[in-house]
A and B are shown apart, each in its own frame.
Chain A
């Protein structure tokens, strides 16, 4: 009998898992289990286009219609109820009172937004991870909420820039002296945060929130120094943690995610993990254990994990140069590689101008590149990191690109002159 593939987590990685095996011609049963009542949908737009002002209801960022999943792909959808446990000996996943048997299993339960410890249960206080969160935030913005964003990370910054674009009163609070340290390093965190200042955002770093006040609904955020910021909407952007609670006691190794080898295998037969939940050995970076919270790798891992789970004998490793992007105001921030290194060097443009490229060195290799409003550059560097380029060669490459760009600008100017003269 053909193997039964069960995928837990019906979002990006889970969807790509079921699509990949059907594309390969797998004709055994496939079951997709999701805690949310929604069909799989796309998260990046939730903090971007979905929050923009407009009279009409924004489009549901759904990936596929139900009929496509159920009929065309022949996927059994079990939505609206979380899996509560895993029995690796019996090879069963528990969902409510059902026991769903599997031959191959993909764990794709992603991550959950962290809330502020001790924050009270008030209307108007939200994290942003799900469509339901985004709908509530959008409704508050539509109502003209005075907005306080706690946490100047990527999602918090996107929400802040969206509220600012609508002309609302917004304050961004960050506990650390510089935002984004973990994502892009401290020096560049400061450089990227200048986008807030350039756009007139009230960003306050190194501040501690002592209370969120309200009576049923939120009324104000109070800082440790006594400052009281009136608020109708508080968005907490305090990062995310992998959703592994339902796997406690299953015997899987859980340590900031499901720990996997380079094939995304979690250990017991048939079990693989993908997306924000997976902490796997990335051969691109000396087999370092990594857990990413990025769209591109979640999508790719979903497909690889499902294929490996169904056919472990011909399993392929998953290695990647991580990539994420974020859009604030009218700027695009892109990062490829890893932000940890011994040196960061700006090789093109200037952070003060909100347009630049910075390279990250670890030992004598290029390991990361940050680009702000330099979309033409970033993927060329991704290819170089993939090739494991040395630092010296990376600097030469950068100098060549810089010379070529100046040449082009020069010619464009001459062209304008000629046209004007």
Chain B
């Protein structure tokens, strides 16, 4: 299991993470990010890794 961490001070709600891994990330209309799942199993790991790498503000990290 890998654990996802969000730095909410850095996140600006751009939602790239959501488009890459919608089961884990969801942005609301006011731009707040909700982490739907904190742990990523092996099946989802690639998507989550992409989301972490894709975040423009580097707000996401993954502890594997």
Listed in ascending order, the chain A residues whose CB lies under 8 Å from chain B are 42, 44, 295-296, 299-300, 303, 321, 323, 325, 332, 334, 336, 355, 373-380, 382-383
- Whether A44 contacts B19 by the Cβ 8 Å rule is no
Q: Are B22 and A380 in contact (CB under 8 A)?
A: yes
User: Known: A299-B54, A375-B13. Is A383-B22 also a contact (CB below 8 A)?
Assistant: yes
Q: Compute how far the CA of A80 lies from the CA of B14 in the bound complex, rounded to whole angstroms.
A: 32
Which residues of B lie under 8 Å from residue A296 when comparing CB positions?
Answer: 16, 54, 56
A323 and B56 contact, CB distance less than 8 A: no
Tally of chain B residues near chain A (CB < 8 A):
16
- Are A382 and B19 CB-contacts (below 8 A) given A296-B54, A299-B54, A325-B14? yes
Instruction: Give 20 A-B contacts (CB < 8 Å), ordered by A residue.
Output: A42-B56, A295-B56, A296-B16, A299-B56, A323-B19, A325-B14, A332-B31, A336-B19, A373-B29, A375-B13, A375-B27, A375-B28, A375-B30, A376-B27, A376-B28, A376-B29, A377-B29, A379-B15, A380-B22, A382-B19
Residues in chain A near residue B27, CB distance under 8 A: 375-376, 379
CB pair A44–B29 under 8 Å, yes or no, is no
- B56 CB contacts on chain A under 8 angstroms: 42, 44, 295-296, 299
Closest to B14 in A: A325
CA distance A375 to B30 in the complex (A): 7
Interface residues of B (CB under 8 A from A): 13-16, 18-19, 22, 26-31, 53-54, 56
CB proximity of B55 to chain A, nearest CB, Å? 10
Distance of A321 Cα from B20 Cα, bound (Å): 11
Shortest B31–chain A CB gap in Å is 5
Per DSSP, chain B at the interface is loop
**Which residues from A are CB-within-8-Å of B15?**
334, 375, 378-379
Q: Which residues of B contact A377 (CB under 8 A)?
A: 29
A150→B36 CA distance, assembly (Å): 44
Q: Which residues of B contact A295 (CB under 8 A)?
A: 56
CB-nearest residue of chain A relative to B30? A375
For A295, A321, A375, which residue has the most chain B Cβ atoms within 10 angstroms? A375
Q: How far is the CA of A25 from the CA of B53 in the complex (A)?
A: 17
Instruction: Determine whether the beta carbon of A375 is less than 8 Å from that of B31.
Output: yes
Structural contact, A379 and B30, CB atoms closer than 8 A = no
CA distance in complex: A296, B54 (Å): 7
8 A-B pairs closest in CB distance: A379-B19, A379-B18, A379-B15, A382-B19, A376-B29, A376-B28, A375-B27, A375-B31
Q: Which of B27, B29, B54: most chain A Cβ within 10 A? A: B29
Give the distance in Å from the alpha carbon of A285 to the alpha carbon of B15 in the complex: 22
Q: Bound complex: CA of A299 vs CA of B27, how far in Å?
A: 21
- Knowing A296-B56, A383-B22 are in contact, say whether A375-B16 is a contact too (CB < 8 A): no
Cα–Cα, bound, A378→B15 (Å): 8
Q: Report the nearest A residue to B13, measured CB to CB.
A: A375
**CB of B10, distance to nearest CB on chain A (Å):** 12
Which one of A296, A378, A379 has the highest number of Cβ atoms from chain B below 10 Å of its Cβ? A379
Distance between A13 CB and nearest chain B CB, rounded to angstroms: 13
Give the distance to chain B from A167, nearest Cβ to Cβ, in Å.
24
* Docked complex Cα distance between A325 and B19 (Å): 14
CA distance A334 to B16 in the complex (A): 11
Determine the distance from Cα of A355 to Cα of B29 in the docked complex, in whole angstroms. Answer: 10
How many angstroms from the CA of A383 to the CA of B22 in the assembled complex?
9
Q: How far apart are the CA atoms of A376 and B22 in the complex, in Å? A: 11
Contacts of B30 in A (CB 8 A): 375
Chain B residues lying within 8 Å of A380, measured Cβ to Cβ, are 18, 22
Q: How distant is the Cα of A150 from the Cα of B56 in the complex, in angstroms?
A: 28
Task: Indicate if the CB atoms of A376 and B26 lie closer than 8 Å.
Answer: yes
Instruction: For residue B26, give the distance in angstroms from its CB to the closest CB of chain A.
Output: 7
Known contacts being A376-B26, A379-B15, A383-B19, is A300 close to B54, with CB within 8 Å?
yes
Q: What CA separation (Å) do A325 and B26 show in the bound complex?
A: 17
A379-B22 in contact (CB<8A): yes
For the complex, give the distance between the alpha carbons of A336 and B56 in Å.
16
Is A374 a contact partner of B29 (Cβ separation < 8 A)? yes
**How far is A378 from B56 in the complex, measured between Cα atoms in Å?**
17
Given contacts A296-B54, A325-B14, contact A375 B19 (CB under 8 A): no
Residue from A296, A303, A334 whose CB has the most chain B CB atoms within 10 Å: A296
Residues of B contacting A378 in the complex (Cβ-Cβ under 8 angstroms): 15
- Contact of A375 with B22 in the complex, beta carbons under 8 Å: no
Chain B residue numbers with a CB within 8 Å of A375 are 13, 15, 27-31
